[in-house]
Amino acid sequence: MKIEILGTRGHIEISAPGHELHSGVLVDNVLFDVGEREYLDRRPRAVFITHLHEDHAFFVNDEEMDTDIPMYGPERFGGVSAIRSTVEVDGMRITPVPTNHSQRVRSCGYLIEKDLGRVLYTGDLYSVQERYRDRLRDLDMVITEGSFIRRGGLVRRDPDTGRPHGHTGIPDLVEFFSPIAGKIVITHLGSWFFSDLQASVRRIEELGTTAEVIVAEDGMVLEVGLEA
């Protein structure tokens, strides 16, 4: 599988060269998240959206969305169909892995399998829903989010419902995925990242112990499964 990280900037005002575009990952001809309209110009065979926040689905607030490209997400919206089980596109098996993130919208990551390669793209989350965790093992690569460098990230509770929402920290994600993944790629970088780019990259990459941890840049290309 050829993996192209199209955009690495979180839902923030600030940006920097190499981190200007919002979420999007192209795996061969299938797109995961569409944080920028221009990603559709790549003419993917299908689009899988992790959740209906604007930095992952540019059209949720106001933009007209008419496309003949099939779109899937954790819940129905406009031309987006709700995904409940594995979908096959172009020899690729795509399985939703429900996550916890927002109290307003549903969210899921996607397990992407092709040939012998297994990749997980999580989108935003504070955790993977417990009963789906057994879908996650023997991963070649996890692409996950970097909103917060501090342990625990930022998870708030709604004062009325008591329900949590937010993002966990990069150290928690690295700890969770290290036993099951060879490589962890951090994207969706939060504002903390931009004060000193080189130092921030080092802080993230130093978290790697058994798994290699790297920081994505807009346009970065990675390969999985070729030399298996």
**CB nearer to Zn ion: pick between 183 and 188:** 188
**CB nearer to Zn ion: pick between 106 and 203:** 106
User: What residues have CB less than 8 Å from 71, skipping those under 6 apart?
Assistant: 46, 47, 48, 49, 79, 80, 81
The candidate with the shortest Cα–Cα distance to 121, out of 136, 134, 132, is: 136
Q: How far is CA 22 from the centre of its chain?
A: 11
Are 20 and 197 within 8 A, CB to CB? no
**CB nearer to Zn ion: pick between 11 and 135:** 11
* Half-sphere exposure for 221 (CA within 13 Å, toward CB): 3
Of the residues 9, 19, 53, 183, which one makes contact with Zn ion according to CB under 5 A: 53
Q: Quick one: tokens of 119?
A: 């990749």
Are 96 and 122 within 8 A, CB to CB? no
How many residues bind to Zn ion according to rule CB under 5 A? 4
Of the residues 55, 113, 140, 218, which one makes contact with Zn ion according to CB under 5 A: 55
Q: Is 114 in the site for Zn ion (CB under 5 A)?
A: no
Q: Is 11 in the site for Zn ion (CB under 5 A)?
A: yes
Of the residues 36, 113, 124, 218, which one makes contact with Zn ion according to CB under 5 A: 124
CA dist 10 and 12 (Å) reads: 6
Are 122 and 170 within 8 A, CB to CB? no
CA dist 99 and 19 (Å) reads: 25
**CB nearer to Zn ion: pick between 63 and 90:** 63
Hey, which residues between 33 and 52 contact Zn ion (CB under 5 A)? none
Query: Smallest distance from the beta carbon of 105 to Zn ion, in angstroms?
Result: 8
**CB nearer to Zn ion: pick between 89 and 105:** 105
**CB nearer to Zn ion: pick between 114 and 188:** 188
Contact stretch for Zn ion (CB under 5 A) within 6-14, 78-86, 190-198, 200-208: 6-14
Hey, which residues between 184 and 203 contact Zn ion (CB under 5 A)? none
Query: Smallest distance from the beta carbon of 124 to Zn ion, in angstroms?
Result: 4
CA dist 44 and 26 (Å) reads: 8
Query: Smallest distance from the beta carbon of 144 to Zn ion, in angstroms?
Result: 12
Chain residues in the site for Zn ion (CB under 5 A): 11, 53, 55, 124
